[in-house]
Chain A
Amino acid sequence: MRGSLRVLAIGLSLAFVAAACSSNSSGGASESPGQQGGTYSFYNGEPNHLIPQNDYESAGTQAFQGLWTRLVDFDPTTYKPVPAQADSITQSSDGLTYDITIKSGWTFHDGTPVTAQSYVDAWNYAAYGPNGYILNFFFDKIEGYDALNPSSGTPKTKELSGLKVNGTNEFTVTLTHPFSQFEYTLGFDAFDPLPKAFFDDPKAFDEQPIGDGPYMMDGKWQHDQTINLQRYPDYAGTPGFADKVELRIYQGDAAWLDFQAGNLDITLVGSDHLNEARKSYSDTLSEEPGATLLYLNLPLYQPQYQNKDVRQALSLAIDRQAVMNAILVAETPADDFMPPPVTGYRQGACQYCQFNVDLAKQKLQEGGGFNGTLTLNFYADDTTLEQAMEAVANQWHDNLGITTKLNAIPQNTYFSGSGPIYTKKMTGPWWDGWTEDYPSIQDFLEPIYGANGGYNTSGYLNKTFDQTLDTANQQSLEASIPTYQQADDMILEDMPAIPWGYLGFNTVHDDNVTNVVKVPGLDELDLSKVQVVGASGASASAS
């Protein structure tokens, strides 16, 4: 969902990405594991807000990763939700009600207790339309949402009827319809708890938020400079290793230079510096597929793209790997409609994503050929992207004999509500991207190809597909995944879009730090796992 912007941002400068450094053991890594202490710095962007319910981009969620502990985290191999701040989450047999018990004895950074009420208050506040909170729509599956967001006038109530506090550490959530992936969504920051201090003065809170995570703010947010964190001494979960973390805020190329100059410990690497990183920093470079699918969306409302054989042919005729080797270095070719760190992803599922010119020609013929000119659309002022799009257009021309045209659209209008995507005025395939909100296969299907999907911009409509999704939504989490995969199979055949690639979450770091790892299922660095080499080990008694 926030996909578009993030992809755009990557094109503009640095990828908003980090990585699981598999087995780097440079310097003092041989010291006893769990040595606490030290300070390290990591690249970040400038968030819009530091209130979890009011921010929807990676710069914010990276900070929240340290400042809050979410209800659930994700399993490192299956990417299924596992309780984090939650103690247990139980779904009722009708699938409508979730009983959530949180771990007891947890406190916010101001010492006040984290209770069921802290969650319910936060959710109600964000769901209340007049507060204008960006993540408001995350609560639309909870009973009573409509009353807080009437189409006109002021809401008569400020509380979601679907939320009930049952005790200090327990509350229930009632949904309007069964939704098997609800537990996944709880891993998103919209569902973080807020302390009393927030409600007294949200604006002040935004400058120095108080969460319940392993790290607390070290002073105020210094806009466009840094967000300084320090270990929260009374954290009830697994404490972080470093004493302090500096999230340094950069714009443009400065982060890379600062890393090269030895002033920044960890940074992200996008297409513009990846080749250099592979050469100069190969010992600490970690490359891993992230949570973003990049794809060429198709205007199914245009006659040229209504035949699925033609769409299959277009996909088969592009050599993704060649373009990525030469231009979009930070990407890997897509082989399903969702990236690998997602529950339900199947390696090699997309048979039409292979590069096969003969089959492409055959499919194009079966589909009756391609009439007229193919216009390939992308956003302007990104030279790397432009080169890649030129290469794709050339391949279509050379491999299928299609006359192609490139169309660069100004960035301001590209994704805007009145722009060609949303108003369904695209003349041909367009460059698009989707970054998950939670690592479930469902998040890559329903919003983009479902009849009521928030980002169904291709105009894809398939009743069987919708019914399958519906069935999956009503099943248990466990049973739902194979059903979603059936739905995935339908679009793998129909090809309403051309999967292009997975944007890598790539990090490099200097000798000052070790154990630089990614959060499972999310494009975030795990701030509490990074260890500072040669840290004094002031709290080494823990090890």
Chain B
Amino acid sequence: MSKRYLIRRLLLVVPVLLGTILIVFALVFLTPGDPVNRLAGNKPLAPSTYNEIRTRYHLDQPFVVQYFYYLDGLAHGDLGATFTGRDVTDILKERFPVTLKLTLGAFAIEVVLGLLLAVVAAVKRRTLLDSAILVFTPVIVLGFVLQYVFGVKLHWLPVAGIRDGPSSYILPSLTLGLGLAASLGRLARSNVLDNMAGEHIRAAIARGLPRRRVVGRHVLKNSLVPIVTILGLDFAYLMGGAVITETIFNLPGLGYSLITGIKTQNGPLVVGLVTLSAIIFVFTNLFVDLLCARIDPRISYE
């Protein structure tokens, strides 16, 4: 892989971000409604107050002007402020660790459980276990069930907030992780099955190599490229903030902020969150592509 390729990929980040920001900006700022009125329960404010707030956040300017104000700020590392005067950068810094912890928890469950399920299901094809992983549980249902069973009934684990430290993340991570593990499991299973049918595998088995070794070293390794790609996408998706899970479990992460931002039409906050998520997405993808090239030498980037 060449340095040129890397530079080109990095340069591509710029148009992707500009485009993302423009689209989100348009979506947020062209939606009908008045975020300033909302600050006072939709009651008409004093004209002086109303005008002052609109001027302060450039809401009195045309859309295009607002967009350039935002880009100008961004060029200086300033993501702007919410309509209640908090720096968006501060909010992102505060929320990022919460979402990161949730992501790591969910991701660990996805990887370990997903791959385990895939291999077991593939090896024990057409058994009850095999069909079990094909069942997909929507996040929202799983979340409520886990809350009810482990929180309300058994009192084992916290159901809301992050004040209980690491244990606060167990149920939300499970909620997200189990769903992802199931979908990863299904994808990996068919991949593993394809590879199991390969002649080199049959040859290996025929030569009496232990089954565990065959599956681990040959089958799984050859199935890794699509799995890593999916995992990369899932990781980026998780880091964008799991909106539903964070809301159900009252976790003040990026997804929770996004919901608040959309509800209150807080443009700068929404744009900041989506921009961050776009950056994470672009870099995760880049990392995944590089990793795939490592795993499979046939993949090369000129």
A binds B: yes
A residues with CB within 8 A of B: 1-6, 8, 46, 48-49, 56-57, 129-134, 136-137, 140, 148-151, 203, 206, 223-226, 248, 250-255, 257-258, 260-263, 410-413, 415-419, 422, 435, 454-455
In which size bucket is the chain B interface?
35 or more
| Consensus secondary structure, chain B interface | loop
Q: Is the CB of B41 within 8 A of A1?
A: yes
When distances are taken between beta carbons in the complex, the residues of chain B under 8 Å from A455 are 43-44
A255 contact set on B, CB distance < 8 A: 160, 250
- Chain A minimum-CB-distance residue to B86: A223
Do A412 and B45 form a contact, CB below 8 Å, given A132-B52, A251-B259, A258-B160? no
22 CB contacts below 8 A, A to B, read A5-B43, A48-B84, A56-B43, A129-B46, A132-B56, A136-B46, A136-B49, A137-B46, A203-B85, A223-B86, A223-B252, A254-B159, A257-B159, A412-B31, A413-B33, A415-B38, A416-B37, A417-B37, A418-B34, A435-B41, A454-B44, A455-B44
Q: How far is the CA of A132 from the CA of B160 in the complex (A)?
A: 35
Distance to closest chain B CB from A364 (angstroms):
33
B interface residues (Cβ-Cβ under 8 A, vs A):
31-34, 37-49, 52-53, 56, 84-86, 91, 94, 147-148, 151-152, 155, 158-163, 247-250, 252, 256-257, 259-260, 265
Q: Which residue of B lies closest to A129 (CB)?
A: B48
User: B32 touching A412 by the CB < 8 A rule?
Assistant: yes
A2-B41, A56-B40 known; A252-B247 Cβ under 8 A = yes
Contact (Cβ within 8 A) A5 B49? no
Q: In the docked arrangement, what's the CA distance between A206 and B53, Å?
A: 17
The 7 closest A-B pairs by CB, nearest first: A2-B41, A412-B33, A5-B41, A129-B48, A415-B42, A254-B250, A132-B52
Complex partner residue of B155 from A132, A223, A262, A411, CB under 8 angstroms: A262
Residue in B38, B163, B265 whose beta carbon sits within 8 Å of that of A225 in the complex: B163
CA distance A262 to B164 in the complex (A): 14
A435–B144 CA distance with the chains assembled, in angstroms: 33
- Knowing A130-B52, A252-B247 are in contact, say whether A140-B46 is a contact too (CB < 8 A): yes
Shortest C-beta distance, B118 to chain A (Å), equals: 33
Given A223-B91, A410-B32, A137–B49 Cβ distance below 8 Å? yes
Other-chain contact of B42, A49, A253, A416 (Cβ < 8 Å): A416
Task: State whether B48 touches A136 (Cβ < 8 A).
Answer: yes
A2-B43, A252-B250 are known; give 14 further A-B pairs, CB within 8 A: A4-B41, A56-B40, A57-B41, A131-B52, A134-B39, A140-B46, A148-B48, A224-B256, A225-B252, A252-B248, A254-B247, A255-B160, A258-B250, A435-B41
- Which one of B34, B49, B158, B248 lies within 8 Å of A132 (CB-CB)? B49
- With a cutoff of 8 Å between Cβ atoms, the chain A residues found around residue B39 in the complex are 48, 56, 134
Q: How far is the CA of A149 from the CA of B52 in the complex (A)?
A: 10
Asked if A257 and B41 sit within 8 Å, CB to CB, the answer is: no
Chain A residues lying within 8 Å of B42, measured Cβ to Cβ, are: 4-5, 8, 415-416
Contacts of A225 in B (CB 8 A): 161-163, 252
